[in-house]
Amino acid sequence: MSARAILTWPDPQLTVMCPPVAEITDDIRLLAADMLDTMYAAPGRGLAAPQIGVQLRLFVMDPTWKQGQPDPTICINPDILAHSDTVATAGEGCLSLPGVVVQVSRPTWVRMVWSDLDGIVHEEDLTGFRALCAQHELDHLDGLMTLDHVDAAQRADILAAYGAP
């Protein structure tokens, strides 16, 4: 297992709609282990496969490890089945946008379904930071960044501070 390099925006690999994982192979198990290593080393609380240049619907998250409660979750082919009408706005960082915090509004709970590395399907209602984290990482699988949640003026201000051309 090893940490891999994290791509940063505007790398075009971050804006691709990723296809599903067709089969859970040893390569996928190695990828997931490397993604956890990469996330913890960054250090971050979530990482999606396209952030390390792999175009597949797979992300890892561990929203609580920084509070001393490690709880890694590997989400293969995740999908959101339902969400609250209530939204909350919070500042979100992203390992692919270092140094940038974007205010993003998202549903406060989501019902997500995904498969784990053993092919077992999980369906869970996520709330709080776990809901935010899952939605952020799922966005990456659709080629979306936090920047895609704000209007053109805000995006321009953020990118000027980020140093984008």
Catalytically active residues are 137
Question: Smallest distance, Å, CB 6 to Zn ion?
Answer: 9
Per CB under 5 A, the segment of 36-44, 70-78, 81-89, 91-99 that binds Zn ion is 91-99
* Minimum CB distance to Zn ion smaller for 14 or for 76: 14
Q: Closest-CB residue for Zn ion?
A: 94
Q: What is the bridge-based pairing of β-strands 73-83 and 58-61?
A: antiparallel
Question: Smallest distance, Å, CB 8 to Zn ion?
Answer: 10
Name every residue whose Cβ is closer than 8 Å to that of residue 64 and which is 6 or more positions away in sequence: 70, 71
Taking the C-alpha atoms of residue 90 and residue 45, their distance in angstroms, rounded to an integer, is 15
Other beta carbons within 10 angstroms of residue 42's beta carbon come to 15
Q: Does 94 interact with Zn ion (rule: CB under 5 A)?
A: yes
Question: In sequence order, which ranges of the chain are alpha helices (DSSP H)?
Answer: 26-41, 128-141, 152-162
* Minimum CB distance to Zn ion smaller for 31 or for 100: 100
* Minimum CB distance to Zn ion smaller for 94 or for 100: 94
Name every residue whose Cβ is closer than 8 Å to that of residue 164 and which is 6 or more positions away in sequence: 9, 10
Question: Smallest distance, Å, CB 26 to Zn ion?
Answer: 27
Q: Does 49 interact with Zn ion (rule: CB under 5 A)?
A: no
User: Which residues of the chain form contacts with Zn ion (CB under 5 A)?
Assistant: 94
